Amino acid sequence: MWESHGADSGSAVPALGQSKFLLYSCCHVASAFLNKKRPCSAAISQRSRFLLFHSFVSSTMPAKAMKVMKAMKANSSKVMTKGALTGALAAEHELKQKQCREILESFVAIAATEVKKNGIFSIPGLCRIKTRVKPATKAGMRVMFGKEQKVKAKPAKTVVKAFAAAALKKQI
């Protein structure tokens, strides 16, 4: 564990990395400093010993460079547009793009009327579209982020939500 560093010094140093050795030596110097008898009789508290040791170690240790956070980039592939979707359907089923667009528009119209009428519409293997009624809220004072805020009354409203089908979840 011990190896000699420098022929003229003859000092033995633990075979650790440079930063670990520096921390090792700081610990010994700080503990010798803290355990030394002082001429005054005032005792140093545990907290002040820790602060003294921490400031000593942080001032002698080289500052470690923080890693720079990479900016989150959006996926390079773009979302498929309606035209691209109708083009892909037309190529796969040997139809004209206009016919595929009309089919897609009628599908959307059927889904919208079903959701409005029944409150639920399922596209097998893809998703289920549901409606949920959010209740009305009363006016009054509410605590938000530690402060009291005046809140207006809001009427009940219907919210449309879509849930992925199990078959789609298994594929991804």
pTM of the model: 0.50
Residue 172 has what pLDDT?
Answer: 87
pLDDT digits (tens, 9 = 90+) for 22-37: 455 555 555 555 555 5
Residue 7 has what pLDDT?
Answer: 46
pLDDT digits (tens, 9 = 90+) for 49-58: 666 566 655 6
Residue 17 has what pLDDT?
Answer: 54
Dist CA 44 CA 49 (whole Å): 7
Residue 77 has what pLDDT?
Answer: 79
pLDDT digits (tens, 9 = 90+) for 54-81: 665 565 556 566 666 666 565 567 899 9
Residue 56's Cβ-count burial label (10 Å; 0-12, 13-18, 19+) is middle
In the chain, which residues have pLDDT < 70?
1-76
